Structure 1
């Protein structure tokens, strides 16, 4: 009997091993298909331009307006502080990508699960990450449509006026094709073009402002005449600045595309790319914000290119550059969403991975962002609301909380103090910025007609 029991046990353990092997093979096959993990041969400069494309969004064009709401002193302080804090938290993310030997946290939520536990980690990270990525995609649909409309109106001022919603559909239609590119590395060409465009239109924005010079009767006082209006404007502007530093939501996914070995971990080339990206970010953000506000004071629009009416050809070119850049940015933020959708469809709903699934799932997502973009195109208010509500947690303090949970630095040590400082600043942003953004949306909505 004993011999039979051992034989049965051996057979069982062999079957279990086979099942485990099949499971590992299936997981590997799925990883090789999913957009984040299917390609790991990126170079450090991929990290640089992906980060520039993710970070220097159309939000840069609203920075002079944010400065007008904040005033010179607080505005400059908030800009510099945000740059330093977000560079620090981005460094933390890069360091934590491979903090467990032999394992890579390829997605933001995987790091969250390691820090907070499987269930809680998912609930903390995924909703916030989705709000950021889907929010950015919707805002970029609106931005792309608005920039196309502005281009059309500048190039052909006597032409019949066309509704903004048509331009949003025209802009969105190219994404039905581009969204079929399988992974991050396959969109590197689009991303490079987008990064070059962001640097170019930022330069045009501040250079054209310098050319125009300080306007007569320029006023650096607060935009709003009432105390409540000034306060709400100040809060909304904090959200605009938070929106300008949003690349953290895709940083682990970008790092996942870089090869790694014990001798040469992925954090080295990734960090090199991040530093280059952050230098470009500073070159784009600070001149646009400071020169734009210097030239126009509190009469600046929530998009500096709208304030700059002339020279017409430069404004037309800059708007077309915004369109090209936003096309790349949309794809960078959509890729992790595609990864989540495809993972759920394959793992939860047991649908076979393949071209049909990808075509239908991604096209449905693009259509969704177009429809929402047409329904609520209040650009400035959306930036303030999303900036505070979701960008501040994932950018300013969630990396710090994870760092404290995983690394456990000694109480009152320098690392501990810096992290708590970032957490307090980030929490204040999360609470205060959406209040201003929401008021701005309500004000816009009161005069807005659907599908105009």
Structure 2
């Protein structure tokens, strides 16, 4: 109720109370809305691949790597929160986006490099989410088909209609003007992520109780089940899966820009980041470990596909995944939408097609009219259609997203936050702190290279059996 009240003030208010000191619309976000945005971004469908990742690494390395990524992500995210305002964390000039922060603190060619990597990652994630959502919808359909036919019908089907359904939904939701108005969708998506994670965890626990033992080994999948070379490539790809599961830094500044002040945005964001990463790590550990304990070496890439019964509970979990991905898609795409729209406005400020807004009455008492912008509506719709088309063309694109996640982890989660923090805090070169930060950055670079190598090997295998638009399962 408290969040709704805050947003009602934003909707109803008139006069200067609606604007911040920089003339932009007053921010209404809080610790809870920021936490919801982060959890929505972090607990993606990637949680379902963690049992497979732990199966490649084993009982020792699997949880250890997951814990390591959580610590690194929290630490570098804390550094990044300090870069929301330039010079002073309380009164300095606000940086509205990740690239804006890089431009004001580092400048030069690094801005273009950061922007390219960030938006390429966000674009890749949107395609991966389209594929993942369609597969969950297909799983529901196939589950009911198999149940009704008693397992006699193979129930093969194409993923294309489900990708189109997801795309149409995203075209409608993409008309929501900005990040701050997505708070309700993020909270719903966060609830859904807990729902399917909890179901996956419960099914894993039930299976372990049913078989009466913990499967798996200390060193992961055994040679014999896979070859020595496959063991290495799979272990590398597992690092990429875990890295991708923790990647949200690319939208951290955008989330921080929704927070009201006082208190200082960095203080609220640090608390939200700590809570969110702690919660997601506990869920990741439980889901990943219980999934591995259930299936051992044969842990599936999507945990929920390993459980056949009760089919209605698996259906509920897959429905929750779809709803979550609907929200997560919007959270990840908003920075791209904002970037293109601001660029177009600055490039053609006199164009009425780009700048003019039409007011459409909203039949809900207390809500201001919806402002329709022709360029925004057309551009966002074209973007969603493009991601849907690529998803239909390359249904194995989740492997490519793994590459993007591996490559994006180092620059976006580690390198730029470390470099900006060093510059912002004027940390002297070759000092102990400078050396520690640089060593952390170098170590994460090596991990990203190894993870990307494993994902590339997976894509090469996919290409050997690739047929365009033949996403039949």
TM-score scaled by length of structure 1: 0.87
- Partner in structure 1 of residue 421 of structure 2: 403
Larger helix proportion of the pair = 1
**CA deviation digits over 1:385-410, x for unaligned, max 9?**
12212233211332112222332324
How big is the shift at 1:299?
0.3
Paired with 2:419 and 2:64, the residues of 1 have a C-alpha distance of 24
How big is the shift at 1:204?
1.0
How big is the shift at 1:349?
4.2
Conserved in 2, the CA contact under 8 Å of 1:396 and 1:426?
yes
Paired with 1:281 and 1:418, the residues of 2 have a C-alpha distance of 27
**CA deviation digits over 1:268-290, x for unaligned, max 9?**
22222222212221232110111
Q: Which shows bigger deviation, 399-408 or 378-387?
A: 378-387
**CA deviation digits over 1:170-221, x for unaligned, max 9?**
1121001000001112111111010011111111111111101175894534
Matched, 1:170 2:165: yes
- Partner in structure 2 of residue 434 of structure 1: 452
Paired with 1:323 and 1:343, the residues of 2 have a C-alpha distance of 30
Matched, 1:110 2:100: yes
Q: Secondary structure at the match of 1:393?
A: helix
Matched, 1:273 2:272: yes
Q: Secondary structure at the match of 2:85?
A: coil
Alignment of 1:186-205 (within 5 A): 186-205=181-200
Change over 3 Å in CA distance of 1:217–1:418 after alignment to 2? closer
Paired with 1:91 and 1:364, the residues of 2 have a C-alpha distance of 35
Q: Secondary structure at the match of 1:258?
A: coil
Paired with 1:194 and 1:121, the residues of 2 have a C-alpha distance of 33
Conserved in 2, the CA contact under 8 Å of 1:389 and 1:434?
yes
- Partner in structure 1 of residue 238 of structure 2: 237
Paired with 1:132 and 1:210, the residues of 2 have a C-alpha distance of 34
- Partner in structure 1 of residue 78 of structure 2: 91
Alignment of 1:352-371 (within 5 A): 352-353=354-355, 354=357, 355-371=373-389
Between structure 1 and structure 2, the one with the greater Rg is 1
How big is the shift at 1:241?
0.8
Conserved in 2, the CA contact under 8 Å of 1:242 and 1:391?
yes
1:389 to 407, 414, 431: 407
Conserved in 1, the CA contact under 8 Å of 2:59 and 2:216?
no
Q: Secondary structure at the match of 1:435?
A: helix
Q: Secondary structure at the match of 1:156?
A: helix
- Partner in structure 2 of residue 323 of structure 1: 322
Change over 3 Å in CA distance of 1:383–1:309 after alignment to 2? farther
Q: Secondary structure at the match of 2:82?
A: helix
Paired with 1:86 and 1:217, the residues of 2 have a C-alpha distance of 30
Paired with 1:426 and 1:217, the residues of 2 have a C-alpha distance of 32
Paired with 1:129 and 1:191, the residues of 2 have a C-alpha distance of 21
Conserved in 1, the CA contact under 8 Å of 2:164 and 2:388?
yes
- Partner in structure 1 of residue 131 of structure 2: 142
Structure 1 moving runs of 4+ over 6 Å:
none
Change over 3 Å in CA distance of 1:63–1:380 after alignment to 2? farther
Unaligned runs of 5+ in 1: 1-27
Q: Secondary structure at the match of 2:73?
A: helix
- Partner in structure 1 of residue 392 of structure 2: 374
Conserved in 2, the CA contact under 8 Å of 1:236 and 1:381?
no
How big is the shift at 1:91?
0.7
- Partner in structure 1 of residue 300 of structure 2: 301
Q: What is the root-mean-square deviation of aligned Cα atoms in Å?
A: 2.2
- Partner in structure 1 of residue 121 of structure 2: 132
Conserved in 2, the CA contact under 8 Å of 1:393 and 1:426?
no
Unaligned runs of 5+ in 2: 1-18, 358-372
Paired with 1:295 and 1:367, the residues of 2 have a C-alpha distance of 39
Q: Secondary structure at the match of 1:323?
A: helix
Matched, 1:42 2:29: yes
Conserved in 2, the CA contact under 8 Å of 1:67 and 1:289?
yes
Conserved in 2, the CA contact under 8 Å of 1:401 and 1:423?
no
Q: Secondary structure at the match of 1:373?
A: helix
Paired with 2:180 and 2:294, the residues of 1 have a C-alpha distance of 40
- Partner in structure 2 of residue 420 of structure 1: 438
Change over 3 Å in CA distance of 1:411–1:347 after alignment to 2? closer
Change over 3 Å in CA distance of 1:230–1:39 after alignment to 2? farther
2:178 to 178, 183, 187: 183
**CA deviation digits over 1:402-430, x for unaligned, max 9?**
22233232456553344223202221122
How big is the shift at 1:383?
4.3
How big is the shift at 1:433?
1.2
**CA deviation digits over 1:243-283, x for unaligned, max 9?**
0111111110111111235xx32122222222221222123
- Partner in structure 1 of residue 67 of structure 2: 80
Conserved in 2, the CA contact under 8 Å of 1:106 and 1:256?
yes
